[in-house]
Amino acid sequence: MSAKKIAVLVGSLRKESFNRKTANALIKLAPASLSLEILEISNLSLYNEDLDSKPPEAWREFRDKLKTFDGVIFVTPEYNRSFTAVIKNAIDIGSRPYGHSVWNGKPGAVISVSQGAMGGFGANHHLRQIFVFLNIPIMQQPEAYIGNAASWFDAHGNLVNEPMSKFLKNFIDSYSEWVYKICSK
């Protein structure tokens, strides 16, 4: 059985992003049944429908690469009780032109990461609402709202908290089961 390829989209562009650190921790914790790769979205210009007839090269590359993945994990901070514009932009680029969405049927999961205590609950649920239209079957449990993120990592960006490591391991193992369940249909 070959590993399922999973795209990881990080919704924070900040150099010392706790979201990117969490994504890197997931990659290290992933079972052999999954091959996770961060798919960069920072280079995508803002979506403009006028460009669909001749899309920018970065859009074409993003769409083509995303087609090669079996599933997708979104790791997002919370800005103003929602997910970030960079994720929304990637979603829009991948879902257009109408009828050619690269998201269709890819099993998904969401992790929201915040320095605050609520762990990005609003961002997590707002993003999940969009998956209904995109036809991304979303893993329901375990939910992942990671609050107080600054306390989980050392100065080198390594996950150093054992309970959080166990939580993320359970999350990624559960996601692996979810992916294989959805992909077998």
Residue 80 is encoded by which pair of tokens?
């103003």
pTM: 0.94
- Could you give the count of Cα atoms lying within 13 Å of 5 in the half-sphere of its Cβ? 9
Find out whether the peptide bond into 163 is cis, omega within 30 degrees of 0.
no
Residue 76 is encoded by which pair of tokens?
């997002």
- Ranking 5-9, 31-35, 112-116 by mean pLDDT, the lowest is 112-116
The CATH number of the domain where 36 resides is what? 3.40.50.360
The pLDDT of residue 46 is 96
CB 17 within 8 A of CB 49: no
Per-residue pLDDT band for 1 (boundaries 50, 70, 90) equals: low
Residue 41 CB-density burial (10 A; 0-12 exposed, 13-18 middle, 19+ buried): buried
Q: Which of 29-43, 71-85, 106-120 has the highest mean pLDDT?
A: 29-43
Which domain covers residue 76, as residue numbers? Answer: 4-183
The pLDDT of residue 64 is 97
pLDDT in tens, 106-134: 999 999 998 876 668 888 888 999 999 99
pLDDT averaged over every residue in the chain: 92
Per the structure, how many domains does the chain have? 1
